Amino acid sequence: MPNKSIYFSGLMNYFEETGKVTLFAIRFFKEAFKPPYEWKELIRQCYLIGYQSLVLVAITGFIMGLVLDLQTRPTMIEFGAESYMPSMIGISIVREIGPVITALICAGKIGSGIGAELGSMRVTEQIDAMEVSGTNPFKFLVVTRIWATTLMLPILVIMADAVGLFGSWIVENLKGDVTFALFFNQVFNNIEFGDLIPSTIKSFFFGFAIGLIGCYKGYYTSKGTAGVGAAANTAVVVASLLLFVFDLIAVLITDIFYEI
């Protein structure tokens, strides 16, 4: 028989964590706009987080496009709506699948990376070393990373969208003789600003969530090297969960503004 107090303490833990993460986010916003700015580190992080995730995201996006098209095609043909394929694929990739898949991949790659990196920096006292040598480690490590994920994720999402659409086009071209021009013409004929803009804004928040959780988990790692693994692990789990929560909120908000 599970004890009631277990649930209670679990709930309290949840509230405590939420509170801490919120404080962490507030601290980020406080320090993010205050000089000195760590430009060099920001650019370095953008390179590591953005550019170095490109191949992974592109491959995922490409396969996502292929698979989505292959899976949807038979059903659409059954309804005789084959010619709606490009627009349908376009809308689903741009609106939802592109941002969410990219964000999940990045939560796995970047979130765990940040969690593990900051975690090991914490347990090997590198963060303390920064602190005593006059550099604000929060600013140098956390602010730059959260900025980098926030800024880079939308770009990655756009790239994943593009590669994904390209993948779908390949399937359409091989199976249905759809030309490149026709495919993208159809795609862009059916995408509205109401699809593109909210999903881009959403991507910023996804990036922010990944950076925030990764940094939070890493920055407050304790209990040695085991803690580093735990930090990386929980960073991915919590960030992925948070992504879906953000996604839900984003969809609801988009509904209000664009009446899909």
Piece in contact with another protein (CB under 8 A), picked from 10-18, 81-89, 238-246, 247-255: 81-89
Is-contact 65 166, C-beta < 8 A?
yes
Which among 100, 53, 76, 40 is positioned nearest to 176, based on CA atoms? Answer: 76
Which among 206, 168, 158 is positioned nearest to 64, based on CA atoms? Answer: 168
Does 83 bind another protein (CB under 8 A)? Our answer is: yes
Q: How many CA atoms lie within 13 A of 20 on its CB side?
A: 12
Among residues 118 and 238, whose Cβ is nearest to another protein? 118
Is-contact 215 118, C-beta < 8 A?
yes
Does 133 bind another protein (CB under 8 A)? Our answer is: yes
Does 105 bind another protein (CB under 8 A)? Our answer is: no
Among 4, 193, 252, 256, binds another protein (CB under 8 A): 193
Measured at the CA of 40, the angle between CA 39 and CA 41, to 5 degrees, comes to 95
Q: Closest approach of Cβ 128 to another protein, in Å?
A: 5
Q: How many CA atoms lie within 13 A of 205 on its CB side?
A: 17
Does 248 bind another protein (CB under 8 A)? Our answer is: no
Which among 229, 232, 240, 203 is positioned nearest to 216, based on CA atoms? Answer: 232
Torsion-angle region of 134 (φ positive above 0: left; ψ -120 to 50: alpha; else: beta): left
The torsion of the CA quartet 250, 46, 212, 225, rounded to 10 degrees, works out to 140
Among 64, 68, 156, 242, binds another protein (CB under 8 A): 156
Among 32, 92, 126, 201, binds another protein (CB under 8 A): 126
Among 86, 88, 100, 117, binds another protein (CB under 8 A): 117
Does 233 bind another protein (CB under 8 A)? Our answer is: no
Site residues for another protein, 200-229, by CB under 8 A, read 200
Does 162 bind another protein (CB under 8 A)? Our answer is: yes
Residue 237, φ and ψ in degrees, nearest 5 = -65, -50
Piece in contact with another protein (CB under 8 A), picked from 26-34, 133-141, 212-220, 246-254: 133-141
Residue found by looking up tokens 């109401």 in the block = 194
Site residues for another protein, 1-60, by CB under 8 A, read 43-44, 46-47, 50-51, 54
Q: By CB under 8 A, name the binding residues for another protein.
A: 43-44, 46-47, 50-51, 54, 77-83, 94, 117, 120-121, 124-126, 128-135, 154-156, 158-159, 161-162, 188-189, 191-193, 196, 200
